Amino acid sequence: MTLQTPLAEVAVQQEGPPVRTRSRSRRRIEPIYYLFLVPALLLFTGFVVVPAVIGIFYSFTDYVGYGSWSLLGLRNYTALFSDPDILGSYGFTLGFAVVTVVIAQVIALALAVALTKRIRFAAPLRTIFVIPMVLSGIVVAYVFNFLFSNSLPAFASAVGFAPLEQSILGNPDLAWLSIVTVSAWQTIPGALLVYTAGLTSIPGDLYEASSLDGASAWTQFRSITLPLIAGFVLINTVLGVKGYLGVYDVIVGLTGGGPGTSTRSVAMAIFGGFTGGDYAYQMANATIFFIVTVIISVAQLLVTRGRTIRL
């Protein structure tokens, strides 16, 4: 989905203060600048902000998606907190996001470091590693669905590994692993590219000086690489988590939320509201989800603030 493009991760990096401000406040503004800006603002407001506001408004009603409605106050919200299905979907989504972001970032960073070492075929290797990023999530999930339900069990019985002889997609305890795998597979490339950009911006003489002092590769990684790319780790993690929280395509293609509701994400629960008749209820869920997303993102930014080095 569009908001989740792993590449969005790079972006926030530039939000910082260094801005070309000129003391032109007294000058009369040219009307054409409004003409440049207003279409974007109007369309954005109409297609994104207005729907968000409408949705939040309906979360205080008993609206079912059509017909009349009346105000309920906070009743949808209080009901949410005692709904085991909803709590289950939050539990799954948060756990999935944490596990996936850790796995994906560690692998992406390891690959990025490896690709900047003295290796052969660096360019073609990087080209191959980035391919998953350009593929459709749902189609990728369908391919992996086949691998998980046919190839993996066939392989497991061939080598006599009993736990995997049944498809993990049908196992409520293991199905989430398939979603972690495919999500990581898809999002590692974007993070890898961001890390590569970060690593190439580190001056090489830092490493030369430290190896003259006898620093090991691991020491160099810990004391030079990691502090200098901390900003990139932060951005990748914040927007990675945000993306994983909205996970949908991959689940649709792999498990459809099952078995049972063991892999049902918050996004799937919310979309179910349109067909399930509990529109207003799921809009309350969506509003809570928005708040949770913002809190997690801001918390990540605050916790890591001060430890990052601006490049």
Which of 15/173 has CB closer to another protein? 15
Site string (162-181) toward another protein, x via CB under 8 A: --------------------
Question: Binding of another protein at residue 144 (CB under 8 A)?
Answer: yes
Which residues in the 14-43 window bind another protein by CB under 8 A? 14-15, 18-25, 29-30, 32-34, 36-37, 39-41, 43
Is residue 7 involved in binding another protein (CB under 8 A)? yes
DSSP line for the chain: -GGG-TTHHHHGGGGSS-----S-TTSPPPHHHHHHHHHHHHHHIIIIIHHHHHHHHHTTB---SSS---B-TTHHHHHHTT-HHHHHHHHHHHHHHHHHHHHHHHHHHHHHHHHTSS-SSHHHHHHHHHGGGGS-HHHHHHHHHHIIIIIHHHHHHHHT-GGGSS-GGG-TTTHHHHHHHHHHHHHHHHHHHHHHHHHHTS-HHHHHHHHHTT--HHHHIIIIIHHHTHHHHHHHHHHHHHHHHT--HHHHHHTTT-STTTT--HHHHHHHHHHHS-HHHHHHHHHHHHHHHHHHHHHHHHHHTTS----
**Residues 40-69 close enough to bind another protein by CB under 8 A:** 40-41, 43-44, 47-48, 50-52, 54-56, 58, 65
- 299 is a contact residue toward another protein (CB under 8 A): no
Minimum CB separation from another protein for residue 185, in Å? 7
| 86 touches another protein by CB under 8 A | no
68, 73, 82, 134: which one binds another protein (CB under 8 A):
134
Among 126, 156, 166, 177, binds another protein (CB under 8 A): 126
When binding is defined by CB under 8 A, the residue of 166, 167, 171, 220 that contacts another protein is 220
- Measured from the CB atom, is 168 or 194 closer to another protein? 194
Positions in 225-284 near another protein (CB under 8 A): 232, 239, 242, 245-246, 248-249, 252, 266-267, 270-271, 273-274, 279, 282-283
Q: How many CB atoms lie within 10 A of CB 174?
A: 16
- Of the candidate residues 146, 161, 223, 299, the single one contacting another protein (CB under 8 A): 146
Q: Which residue lies nearer to another protein by CB, 33 or 173?
A: 33
